[in-house]
Structure 1
Amino acid sequence: MNRKTRPILPVRHAWVKQVRPDGTERSGRVKSAIDRGDQVDVTVAWHGTNDTSTVPLSTLRCGFRPMMEVQDLPASRTRKTMGEGVVLKTRTLGGRDQVLVDFPQAGKQLWLPYENLKQIKGSKHRFILGDRGPADSAERFRLKSLAHALEMWNENTGSLSHLEIDPLPHQIHLVHHILASGNLNWLIADDVGLGKTIETGMLLAALKQRDSLKRVLLVTPAGLTKQWQDELNYKFKMGEFLIYGDDFHINEPRHWKMYDYVIASMDRLKEERHLEALQQAGGWDLIVFDEAHRLSRRQYGMKLDASQRFQLAAQLRHQTDAMVLLTATPHQGMQDKFQALLELLRPERKEEITTLALNPEIIGDMVFRNNKADVTDADGNFIFNGKTTRALTVAVSEAAIAFDETLQDYLRKGYAAGAALGFKGNAIGFVMTVYRKLAASSVAAIHNALINRRTRLQNQGGGDNDQDLAEADQRFAGEWEEQLQTEAQEFFDGELELLDALIDEAERLRADDRKLQHFLDELIETILAGNPDEKVLIFSEYRSTQSYLKEALEARFGAGCVEQINGSMPHPLRRQAIARFEESAQFLISTEAGGEGINLQRNCHIMANYDLPWNPMRLVQRIGRLYRYGQRERVVVFNIHSPDTADERIMEMMYSRIDQVVADLAGVSPEYNPQLHDDILGEVADLVDVTQILEEATTAGIDRTQQRIDEALARAKAATKKQHELFEHAASFDPNETRNELRITAEHGEAFVIGMFRQLGIEILDTSHNGRLWQIRLPEAVQTALGIARGRHEVTLDRILAVNRPNTHMLDLDSYLMRYLLQQAKSYDFMGLSAVIRGGLPDSAALITSLLRWQNDQGQRRRQEYTAFGIASDGRVRVNPEAFGEWLKQPAETGEVATDRQRNECWFKAAEQAADRRLAEVSNRHLHPENMQWISGAWVE
């Protein structure tokens, strides 16, 4: 036989037909096929008879008929199966018989060689015929159901992917709502501290699970690029994101095609040469803009004035069908600017957006807003409550007051010198601002900075600051500021002599530092007197202050009692420091590097702010390390300040004024609760340029400064009020939104894993940590299937436990072991396609499950749901009965019932009608029904 024309051997259970010499036709299923070199012999079990015979393949043709159920078994070992499908029709082309198969799971209809197809009995066929399955059919039915339910819940929320966070209900529901809408163009405007980064990461994880996220562009402020990269890597294991201009550069526009997961600074991309190349980068599946309120377009009469940043976003809009904007303050009291953002998202609805004042309800389709005051944990308990903030006032010495007066004189001269130089003098003004912030932090911080400045002048060193602060990670701005390389020439005549005086005074102050003494004697000692084992989180903006405090604490309480976190430490070292703090150390001193991204609520509830950040937003973020989900104690925050110095007097004034505005706004809310105070604080703080106010204080005087603060806060108050009124129409967390869906929890994940371990012979050798940590042993068959040599493993489904134990394998839906378990449970050979269930499902005589799918107007899949239909004996159908979700959590027992084909057909027809109603109910302008795939059916004893 010519090797080039060697025929394909039909797989076992392929359906064939044969026309005999007398013209009669018979059909049957292939039992086996043997290639003998010159001929292929096929053994066929002929349909409708007990006859089995062996005939040459050359006498056989395709025997598949429309509506037969088949499984694709590829001849190539490297090609994955297309799964199960339904025959639509057959054809002969080029002398080959082919079958058109609809594969609902893949969403494809393909012409395939009939020889690769195996006839199977699907769940509908088995249910109608009354096939009750093997002895353990109920348990296999349960595990198959769990496998599909877990995958679909993750695909619709991203909450079961590899996350180093415990997603909260409002985060899960936000992602679910956006994906369920069928449109990915949304403005996420959650309150500060509710985790927009986490929500974005979960959205990306869900889209990756759907295999619909090949290229992503994240556009952020310059100082946040590294933060985003860290968050996506360490919280979501998305290490593929690279920073444009840092991790890679583009020499030719065509090189953009090499990068699919990109983070870039909006101010870099807006430059003409970068934007021009980016426009040739091709399309993006999703573009995300962080801090989208920086995309400004204002309207003056009939004229539109768009910033370069807005123009960047408008240009990129042409390169994607999906754009997400992130900002807690999108309105800012400017209706035209807010409308411009909505037009970016939904240009097709421009006319409606133009008349937003008349129909504000339209933002419910475009804006999602969660408030801290409303969010709860999985049990419905409010997450954010129980916080006390206390001011710890320190009376400073006469020497400190004298030093402050000398420093103010130095600052005034520096600002004046900078102003005299115009634009070129901005650098001097910046240095003065840094010095006053250092002085407000600690005498050690300003002392070190002044010495460095004097050394710079005496050595006449050259060079500029190595770090561009505009490009620096904004979390660590203070740390970069204190390392600032200043000019090597005097800012003003006599600067060197004034520096000498300041340094001498600072040295004397370090020997009698009242702030440090008060901190140790009145605060720390008092805390430990109540509980000697109490842990305390301490924040300072500067590393020099951090080192100063560490030295003082260890001198009094012993070596090893202090751990540190700062921006110079890589993530692994930060994690180790946190682990030591939670296990043995008593104090953790952190710069703003710990203001985001670390969660310490399980073992600590007391925080001390040794210095108050000039940006009140940083204070909100610091407190969020303890005041978050999982905190069992009332959080106590101590803010230390010295109102006897000029700058700290202004800071106190600013914070007290903010508190008054927040109290005014919160007090008029009909739904007031204590957390509303923090919601509004976040919004107001974002609208106040604190640095500018404080810079002017040196030259303008205290009265003018007070006036500036009041003016800024009046604007912030009006903007916040308008924003709240408008956002009453935005979409928000609604626990009833998923009432018709099968809701999956961590209990379902654990039930699935334990059940599959039992099915596959995976032993649980030992458990610890209250049953959350398992020592397991894999049988050889599983090791071979996974391609691993080691049999023993330590695994958990607890995210927090996995974070703190680097060698523990986390069984989330990105785990290779979990993927294997899911694959096995969903496979046809696992069965569970039909069963008899004993108990646990009241009011249901039968249960039939299906995957329902929707697509967009271009045939691309946009949504899937795993849906269970509980059918009463009279044919009434309930969608996703609550009892089914509970039944899935426990091992199932197989029962016994008498089945009737006619009744089975009626019940299945009722399930099909209910599925069709569900498809219609969810469909909208963006979602169109695609298909329904029946997974399994069972009778209830």
Structure 2
Amino acid sequence: MKPLRLAHVQGCWVKRLTPSGQEELGVVKMAIAETGEIQVHWIRSDRASFVDAATVSSGFQNGQDVLDCTPGTGVRSLGLGVIMQQRVLAGSEQALVDFPDKRERHWLPYQYLRQVKGVRHRFLRAHLGQDTDVERLRLRLLAHAIKVWNENTGSLSHLEIDPLPHQINLVHHILASDNLSWLIADDVGLGKTIETGMLLHALIQRNRVKRILLITPAGLTKQWQDELYHKFKLEEFEIYHEDFSVNEPRQWKMHDCVIGSLDRLKQPDHLESLLQAEPWDLVIFDEGHRLSRRQYGLKFDSSERYDLARALRGRTQHMLLLSATPHQGMQDKFVALLELLRPDRRQELLMLSLKPEILRDMVYRNHKADVTDADGQFIFQGKITSALKVPSSPESIDFDQTLQAYLRKGYAAGEALGRTGNAIGFVMTVYRKLAVSSAAAIHQALRNRLQRLLDDYGDDTLPSEPTDQRYVGEWEEQVRGEAEEFFAGEIQLLKQLIDDASLLMANDLKLTVFINSVIGPINASNPEEKVLIFTEYRTTQRYLRDALAARFGEDKVALINGSMQHAERREAISQFETHGRFLISTEAGGEGINLQRKCHMMVNYDLPWNPMRLVQRIGRLYRYGQKLKVVVFNIQQSDSLDQDIVDLMYQRIDSVVDDLAQVQEHEFNEGLKDEILGELADLIDVEDILQQATKLGIERTSERIDAALEEAKKAAELQREIFAHAATNDVNELGDQVAITIDHLQSFVVGMFGQLGIEISVSSNEPRLLRIRLPDLVMQELGLSKRSSSRMDVTVDRALAARRPDTRMLDLTSSLMQYLLAKACLYDFGGLAGSVCAPNLGEGSGALFGAMLRWQGPQGNRVRQEFVTILTGQEGVKVNSGVVSDWLMQPAHFSAQATSIESSRPLYDAANKVANQRLAELSNQHLIPESLDWAGAGWTSPN
């Protein structure tokens, strides 16, 4: 068979048969394409000659280090690899080359491979290299450490904030598990978006996932898209039915990163189309507790949302659920969520009560009480809550007495009609809530009711009750009831109530307290202070807006509520965060908003009956990123029966929270108390009790609240007992790894600038601000045109980059940082071995190695890699020693101390043994050792 004729590259190893029949090895020095001849330096005879390329064959051996030198314009080298196997196929000699950095193996023509001297060869042969190789060795090792640290944590990606230890540890834990199906159950406000973004960035960088489906509540689709783009530069995500539509199932393959609304995708027509899409690599559900399936005996009752998730589970290899409250005291519902994650472990999950330790493989929970910053300081600064009692007035007393009489008659009329009277009772309950909110809200509702009765026309039907409870308040405001009197004399009583409400509005002491006792002192203390104000109802919202605008100007007040489009809400929030002073929000308007960076003052003009709503309100400010103590003002009417009952409920809840906080194993802190409050508020069900309060009286209501709290307390204790077995933040999670700090990044960047001839000046005021000028070669290799400025300001400090819009942030998405890292890892950059003068690395002579350890899954896909440093010498063997981490931050110096082949072998053997031991120790059924690749090595000496 005619052999394939290819031009050999310089450095290719060949062999030929001598006339005596012996094989002779040689290295190609040059090739002449026109004649088909190559010049070969023959190793044994140490001479060069021209030979016909057809007379030689591959001289490579398995295990040799080679460099891909495939010719051609625009062809990028696959880099440094190791020959694993060789073959002849259809007359073509080929080598199977493993490229560990690329995570690829390829059969390549041997003619395009150049033999190189790798780290192991250089160290064992005691090839010291040049003086400059020592600094390049440091930069090479540092480049590997930086890349791997980011890959394993996502913490050096494009982020607007510095990630916290608990976020870094969570991402590393999941990535290291070879199982992407997890329930992330962090407490409210710990940054689940940050964690998810970091995880996605790391997975995409690893090529672990390509097709991603992120399903969120309807009001959060745009927020997720914005945060993934602005915080992580994940710009591929499109919103289904906003950015694109699908007319035919085949069109799904055009969209790899999709964000969809939970309640849209659950609809039959959308679900049918979605299930015909190409399989997804990862499906993520935000607020996973909305996926509900309950068990009644042997029967299951699942929601449409749960059915959506179950259907998608068969179309994805991995599923991620996010929820701060996944248990809610309902074991069967919790197990149903876990079944979505790990259907293969269903039988084990049915025995969860007996074997709760299995949660460690599928649930990760960070506790607010444990979260600290990088310096070990608690990140939550605490909050101050003040209750302001509104004094009684003749008008408020008269109105409340008349209202109570109206409510008693209304409830009685509803009960007399049986089930058909439920609608009357519902209207009465709504009026009670409106009366507690504001005089304006109940006044408008009563006028609407009277008009309904007098006009006797119109549709009395309400829109469907929203499934999202945050929209219930605004929905309730539309209640007017049927066009007939609920009871005899209702019209007359309504007229009296409306008159009393008008008088109350004319002397509204609640509004006076709000303006004079809350806003006034805040304004006196700081005329620029921003205040977030919450109410359940739009009528109250407009009432407060008018009062504030009259005093401070319309441009200082913004509203957000559930009737507004997402763009309108974003505009209102932007107005508030820039030149505004007051943002008034309803429950629905506050969905998903995070204002902790610009505001720490909150006023609850009314208190919701559902205590979880209050926790969520405070969570808009009291969350990660808040630098100040949050101040909360609760305004409470003093002469209202319903207000007294609501106050009683919150007092009881605070008491139980204090009791539970005192018996926890954690050191008591504000985070712990808020963590327990969130759990308890989510579990207690008191709305029915409050609805019955007018009939029961305050004493009986108090007893029922205490009983409900006792049930919630038991559920909270059960939930805590269950979550005690979940994986959680471990301060030692990355304690034995080469952790990269901003000082490492600064040292690497400055060092590489020096090696590449990039001029640099450091600002005396801002030491991390680097003013640089790129030489022509670097400009060309970066793909910058000659018109582009070669001068720029750069930094590795996120906070500095945020303050200076014209300064480029050198995170790992930066093209310049990627260029520097790639350069440092190239074979031709040098630094594979060197002689290091480093007194801090230990007494006497020794060696420093940097190694890439890699693990694969059972089917051969790479699932984990880590960079380790190994220090060997008179003091034994140390892995990832802190002294090496410190050495990496300072320019390296050459040591003239002599070394030898004899002394190098035992140093290498000791390092190789430890590296293999670490590979074995971290291996399990999901992590199979894949490779050990030496990144660099140096002989160390104190002088």
Q: What is the TM-score of this pair, normalised by structure 2?
A: 0.87
State the distance in 2 between where 1:141 and 1:428 align.
Answer: 80
Deviation at 1:760, TM superposition (A): 3.1
**Structure 2 residue aligned with 1:321, among 317, 328, 343?**
317
My pick for the range that moved more, 296-305 or 846-855, is 296-305
Which string of whole-angstrom CA distances, capped at 9 and with x for unpartnered residues, describes residues 424-469 of structure 1?
9999988877776555444456667778889999999989999987
State the match for 2:509 in structure 1. Answer: 514
Determine helix, strand or coil for the equivalent of 1:649.
helix
My pick for the range that moved more, 292-301 or 559-568, is 559-568
Matches within 5 A, 1:519-538: 519-527=514-522, 536-538=531-533
State the distance in 2 between where 1:367 and 1:434 align.
Answer: 40
Deviation at 1:892, TM superposition (A): 2.6
My pick for the range that moved more, 585-594 or 240-249, is 585-594
**For residues 554 and 225 of structure 1, do their structure 2 counterparts lie closer, same or farther at Cα, with a shift above 3 Å needed?**
closer
| Equivalent AA in structure 1 for residue 847 of structure 2 | A
Which string of whole-angstrom CA distances, capped at 9 and with x for unpartnered residues, describes residues 35-72 of structure 1?
33xx3443334335553444443444333222221111
Determine helix, strand or coil for the equivalent of 2:854.
strand
**Structure 2 residue aligned with 1:382, among 359, 378, 382?**
378
State the match for 2:862 in structure 1. Answer: 861
State the match for 1:368 in structure 2. Answer: 364
Deviation at 1:847, TM superposition (A): 0.9
Which string of whole-angstrom CA distances, capped at 9 and with x for unpartnered residues, describes residues 706-740 of structure 1?
45534432321111011112222222111122222
State the match for 2:611 in structure 1. Answer: 616
C-alpha contact (below 8 Å) 2:97/2:108 kept by paired residues: yes
C-alpha contact (below 8 Å) 1:363/1:730 kept by paired residues: yes
Matches within 5 A, 1:711-730: 711-730=707-726
**Structure 1 residue aligned with 2:776, among 776, 780, 788?**
780
Matches within 5 A, 1:700-719: 706=702, 708-719=704-715
Deviation at 1:320, TM superposition (A): 2.8
My pick for the range that moved more, 213-222 or 447-456, is 447-456
State the distance in 2 between where 1:470 and 1:776 align.
Answer: 57
State the match for 2:14 in structure 1. Answer: 16
State the distance in 1 between where 2:312 and 2:132 align.
Answer: 55
State the distance in 2 between where 1:787 and 1:417 align.
Answer: 80
Deviation at 1:184, TM superposition (A): 2.0
State the distance in 2 between where 1:77 and 1:462 align.
Answer: 76
My pick for the range that moved more, 147-156 or 761-770, is 761-770
Deviation at 1:841, TM superposition (A): 2.0
Determine helix, strand or coil for the equivalent of 1:381.
coil
C-alpha contact (below 8 Å) 1:45/1:51 kept by paired residues: yes
1:682 paired with 2:678, answer yes
State the match for 2:388 in structure 1. Answer: 392
CA RMSD of aligned residues (A): 4.1
State the match for 2:33 in structure 1. Answer: 35
Which string of whole-angstrom CA distances, capped at 9 and with x for unpartnered residues, describes residues 220-276 of structure 1?
445554544444344433343344455544444444434332334445545555444
**For residues 424 and 308 of structure 1, do their structure 2 counterparts lie closer, same or farther at Cα, with a shift above 3 Å needed?**
farther
Which string of whole-angstrom CA distances, capped at 9 and with x for unpartnered residues, describes residues 865-908 of structure 1?
0111111237x321111112222223333333211112212211
Deviation at 1:814, TM superposition (A): 1.9
| Equivalent AA in structure 2 for residue 516 of structure 1 | L
State the distance in 2 between where 1:445 and 1:776 align.
Answer: 62
State the distance in 2 between where 1:459 and 1:763 align.
Answer: 82
Matches within 5 A, 1:405-444: 440-443=436-439
Determine helix, strand or coil for the equivalent of 1:16.
strand
State the distance in 2 between where 1:301 and 1:813 align.
Answer: 53
Q: Is there any run of 5+ residues in structure 1 with no aligned partner, and where?
A: none
State the match for 1:923 in structure 2. Answer: 923
**For residues 557 and 469 of structure 1, do their structure 2 counterparts lie closer, same or farther at Cα, with a shift above 3 Å needed?**
same
Determine helix, strand or coil for the equivalent of 2:312.
helix
State the distance in 2 between where 1:800 and 1:22 align.
Answer: 72
**Structure 2 residue aligned with 1:83, among 74, 79, 82?**
79
State the match for 1:819 in structure 2. Answer: 818
Determine helix, strand or coil for the equivalent of 1:285.
strand
**Structure 2 residue aligned with 1:178, among 174, 179, 182?**
174
C-alpha contact (below 8 Å) 2:474/2:538 kept by paired residues: no
State the distance in 2 between where 1:359 and 1:369 align.
Answer: 18
C-alpha contact (below 8 Å) 1:383/1:628 kept by paired residues: no
**For residues 777 and 510 of structure 1, do their structure 2 counterparts lie closer, same or farther at Cα, with a shift above 3 Å needed?**
farther
My pick for the range that moved more, 485-494 or 728-737, is 485-494
My pick for the range that moved more, 842-851 or 42-51, is 42-51
Determine helix, strand or coil for the equivalent of 2:236.
coil
Determine helix, strand or coil for the equivalent of 1:322.
strand
State the match for 1:237 in structure 2. Answer: 233
State the distance in 2 between where 1:520 and 1:221 align.
Answer: 35
Deviation at 1:819, TM superposition (A): 1.8
1:126 paired with 2:127, answer no
**Structure 2 residue aligned with 1:668, among 659, 663, 667?**
663
State the distance in 2 between where 1:225 and 1:421 align.
Answer: 44
Deviation at 1:930, TM superposition (A): 0.9
My pick for the range that moved more, 777-786 or 201-210, is 777-786
Determine helix, strand or coil for the equivalent of 2:913.
helix
Deviation at 1:170, TM superposition (A): 1.2
**Structure 2 residue aligned with 1:210, among 201, 206, 209?**
206
State the match for 1:872 in structure 2. Answer: 873
C-alpha contact (below 8 Å) 1:242/1:248 kept by paired residues: yes
Determine helix, strand or coil for the equivalent of 1:814.
coil
Deviation at 1:683, TM superposition (A): 0.9
My pick for the range that moved more, 226-235 or 201-210, is 226-235
State the distance in 2 between where 1:755 and 1:417 align.
Answer: 83
| Equivalent AA in structure 2 for residue 524 of structure 1 | I
State the distance in 2 between where 1:912 and 1:823 align.
Answer: 26
**For residues 879 and 542 of structure 1, do their structure 2 counterparts lie closer, same or farther at Cα, with a shift above 3 Å needed?**
farther
Deviation at 1:935, TM superposition (A): 0.6
My pick for the range that moved more, 524-533 or 855-864, is 524-533
1:890 paired with 2:890, answer yes
**For residues 323 and 769 of structure 1, do their structure 2 counterparts lie closer, same or farther at Cα, with a shift above 3 Å needed?**
farther
| Equivalent AA in structure 2 for residue 161 of structure 1 | S
State the distance in 1 between where 2:914 and 2:481 align.
Answer: 79
| Equivalent AA in structure 1 for residue 15 of structure 2 | K
Which string of whole-angstrom CA distances, capped at 9 and with x for unpartnered residues, describes residues 327-349 of structure 1?
33333333343334334333333
Which string of whole-angstrom CA distances, capped at 9 and with x for unpartnered residues, describes residues 769-813 of structure 1?
844555544333333323334324444434455556665533222
1:756 paired with 2:752, answer yes
Percent identical among aligned pairs is: 54
Which string of whole-angstrom CA distances, capped at 9 and with x for unpartnered residues, describes residues 520-555 of structure 1?
322333345556676555445566656655654565
State the distance in 2 between where 1:591 and 1:848 align.
Answer: 60
**Structure 2 residue aligned with 1:145, among 141, 145, 151?**
141
State the distance in 1 between where 2:56 and 2:697 align.
Answer: 100
**For residues 509 and 804 of structure 1, do their structure 2 counterparts lie closer, same or farther at Cα, with a shift above 3 Å needed?**
farther
Which string of whole-angstrom CA distances, capped at 9 and with x for unpartnered residues, describes residues 472-504 of structure 1?
8x87x489659x777898585799998877766
State the match for 1:644 in structure 2. Answer: 639
C-alpha contact (below 8 Å) 2:603/2:632 kept by paired residues: yes
State the distance in 1 between where 2:302 and 2:481 align.
Answer: 40
1:600 paired with 2:596, answer yes
**Structure 2 residue aligned with 1:70, among 66, 72, 94?**
66
My pick for the range that moved more, 86-95 or 568-577, is 568-577
C-alpha contact (below 8 Å) 1:768/1:774 kept by paired residues: no
C-alpha contact (below 8 Å) 1:137/1:831 kept by paired residues: yes
Deviation at 1:289, TM superposition (A): 3.0
C-alpha contact (below 8 Å) 1:186/1:368 kept by paired residues: yes
My pick for the range that moved more, 181-190 or 445-454, is 445-454
Deviation at 1:102, TM superposition (A): 2.0
State the distance in 1 between where 2:162 and 2:617 align.
Answer: 19
